Amino acid sequence: MQSVIEGRVYKFGDNINSDIIIPGRYLIYIDRERLGQHAFEMLGEGFADKLRSFDILVAGRNFGCGSAREQAATAIQGLGIKAVVASSFARTFYRNAINDGLPIVECPDLFADVAEGDRIRIDLEAGTIELAGKHYAFPKLPESVRKILELGGLAAYLQTQL
């Protein structure tokens, strides 16, 4: 995981649930590529392809609510998305993202100011997001959690503990 993530933003609203992110019928897969092919399928044909042209998802409150399916985080990675910034996350998605090696940032201040297509720069080390010269602070992840992210997820972390 890089400590600085930069790119174009796609913006979602509140309560994007994990059934929307990856429908239950695809939970037979666990690999990024195949899950990415079906990510956000319920939002219409071609929507996933559109998302592939963005780098970072920004969302409102309660992103990833609903089912505890870990593949929601995997599917987002399968689209080539490098990080998710939300005003708040559902706790199951939050854990799954960390365990899947997907950087997540809780930063409610950014939401109102950012628009689709904007470029932002997330500095995980410093705990700041930069948008058009303006800086937004967010609480940094605990050291132990950042360690999991740095290694690319919980499976890789576990391997170091065996």
Partner 1 sequence: MTIAEKILAAKSGRNSVMPGEIVEAYPDLVMSHTATWRSVSVMQKIGATKLYDPNRLAVVLDHISPAKTEKYAGDQQISRNFARKNGVTKFYDVDSGIAHLVLMEAGHVVPGDLIVGTDSHCTIYGSLGALGTGIGYTEVASVWITGKLWLKVPASFSITLQGGFAPGVCAKDLMLYLIGTLGADGCGYKSVEFYGAVRDLSVSERMTMTNLAMEMGVKCAFVPPDEKTAEYLNGRLEDASRYCPVSADADAVYEREIEVDLATLEPMVACPHEVENTKPIGDVAGTHIDQVFLGSCANAKYEDLVVAAGILKGRKIDPGVRMIITPGSKQIMLQAMNSGVLQTLIESGGLVTNPGCGACAGDGGTLADGEVCLSTANRNFIGRMGSSKSSIYLSSPATLAASAIRGVIADPREFLR
The smaller minimum CB distance to partner 1, of residues 32 and 55, is found at 32
Question: Residue with structure tokens 């992840």?
Answer: 141
Q: Which helix (H) or strand (E) holds 134?
A: strand 134-137
Task: Provide the strand spans (E) within 25-86.
Answer: 56-59, 83-86
Q: How far is the CB of 126 from partner 1 (least distance, A)?
A: 22
Binding footprint of partner 1 on the chain (CB under 8 A): 14-15, 17, 19-20, 23-25, 27-28, 30, 41-44, 61-62, 65-70, 73, 88, 90-92, 95-96, 99-100, 142, 144-145, 153-156, 158-159, 161-162
CA distances to 4, 58, 94 from 133, in Å: 16, 18, 28
* Contact assessment for residue 84 and residue 56, using Cβ atoms and an 8 Å cutoff: yes
The smaller minimum CB distance to partner 1, of residues 39 and 120, is found at 39
Long-range contacts of range 145-152, CB-CB < 8 Å, 24 or more positions apart?
145/98, 148/98, 148/99, 148/101, 149/1, 149/98, 149/101, 149/103, 149/124, 150/1, 151/101, 152/1, 152/101
The smaller minimum CB distance to partner 1, of residues 20 and 120, is found at 20
Q: How far is the CB of 4 from partner 1 (least distance, A)?
A: 26
The smaller minimum CB distance to partner 1, of residues 132 and 160, is found at 160
Q: How far is the CB of 154 from partner 1 (least distance, A)?
A: 5
Q: How far is the CB of 7 from partner 1 (least distance, A)?
A: 25
Q: How far is the CB of 121 from partner 1 (least distance, A)?
A: 28
Q: Which helix (H) or strand (E) holds 122?
A: strand 119-123
The smaller minimum CB distance to partner 1, of residues 23 and 80, is found at 23
